[in-house]
Structure 1
């Protein structure tokens, strides 16, 4: 490979942004940016779909599955950090940037709506792996230390779960963002998952809980029909 091609090689980076101030809004300003020293050797991209199937009494037959919805994309990668050839002589500063993505930002705490930063992985012109998301897991393995115990090398395994979605709150029949809809509980359902599908925000599950008088969000009985408020209804209930 020629020197010209090596110098033009795209470098991957992770950007931490202020979480949206409201459901459906865009992320805020940049909090931190980590330019990766080494491009990842592997990227694992996952996406799930959810189906509902009613039991069939006919032996040897199964009911047709009903499409419920698709889950968010999840990107997993490893970030290798090496401070042996840098002036910082430690990887802790880079690790601290990643750790910021796991705790609420001061601005979100000030709004009394704690939320961790949104994370975006970007690498050249790649699109399928470049999306706004939240850090769902992070583990750091230190592999080399200085004589004083300072970590010099680390491998960080992280997973980013997609948080950007199409405008939430759409009612499939009316298309109205303010209309209420209903949902029949199936095995494996949770209020957080339902809030994610409807509003694009899993933390908005309390709105659904209040609308249905649910005290224990973990005790959902399959077959129960829940009322799901629209975005405007949800806002009105929060103001009361």
Structure 2
């Protein structure tokens, strides 16, 4: 039985905010995100809308009976992601809806030099659907329930993200992700993370969880019981690394 099949509990999505790498390369986003601010979502999104566009041009025809020229690719548009979030303090003791909303609205503030936008990434388990560095173009909150003293108790939020662009981290199993050169640095383990999930995200191979565990002997004494907040070093996987480990 694999480690992933043992960890079948609910995985909470999180929105990670971080300053862009100094050189602006989106390929280094995973390293920057590992040190960023993580907003754990109270409820997982029920829907994710992912959109991608492209620009096509039609060259001038030769006239006569040549017909309509076929379109030619001009450029790709940025991938966009939109989602709705819900906040509820009626059943969560000590939770403040306005604090969650303020953190979300602050996502639209600029980064370190007050001109460059902060980058964001939606992380949800091992899914690679939303794992691209993006900027938050819109964050809106609608309060729907209040306490007698006016304290917001429930709210709905809409978030729009737009892809930064450029080269992306190798997270696809078919993209050569197992030949990374230690570019990922460290990862702060959070509720819902699994070693196999991290191995898939950073290396494109869930079987690489053993190598993460081996690189962190003091932090990983039980692969199925790692405390949230634990900092894990992400080891270098060389090109000579053997095929997937049988961890059944």
TM over 0.5: yes
| Structure 2: 5+ residue stretches without partners | 1-5, 169-248
99, 110, 113: which is aligned to 1:93? 99
Residue 47 (1) aligns with residue 48 (2)? no
TM-score (norm 2): 0.57
Conservation of the 8 A alpha-carbon contact between 2:17 and 2:120 = yes
In structure 2, C-alpha distance between the alignment counterparts of 1:153 and 1:134, rounded to whole Å: 26
Greater mean deviation of Cα atoms: 54-63 or 64-73 = 54-63
Q: Which residue of 2 aligns with 1:140?
A: 141
In structure 1, C-alpha distance between the alignment counterparts of 2:43 and 2:101, rounded to whole Å: 15
Q: Which residue of 1 aligns with 2:75?
A: 69
Over 3 Å counting, the alpha-carbon distance change for 1:7 and 1:154 in structure 2 is farther
Alignment of 1:122-201 (within 5 A): 122-166=123-167
Alignment of 1:217-228 (within 5 A): none
81, 85, 103: which is aligned to 2:87? 81
Conservation of the 8 A alpha-carbon contact between 1:52 and 1:65 = yes
How many residue pairs are counted as aligned between the two chains?
A: 159
In structure 2, C-alpha distance between the alignment counterparts of 1:22 and 1:7, rounded to whole Å: 38
Cα deviation, residue 52, structure 1? 1.3
Conservation of the 8 A alpha-carbon contact between 2:121 and 2:130 = no
| Structure 1: 5+ residue stretches without partners | 168-240
Deviation string, structure 1 residues 146-203 (Cα, Å, up to 9, x no partner): 1121111111111111114228xxxxxxxxxxxxxxxxxxxxxxxxxxxxxxxxxxxx
TM-score (norm 1): 0.59
Conservation of the 8 A alpha-carbon contact between 1:15 and 1:33 = yes
In structure 2, C-alpha distance between the alignment counterparts of 1:129 and 1:23, rounded to whole Å: 20
* 3-state SS of 1:108 partner: coil
Runs of 4 or more off by more than 6 Å in structure 1? none
In structure 2, C-alpha distance between the alignment counterparts of 1:36 and 1:24, rounded to whole Å: 27
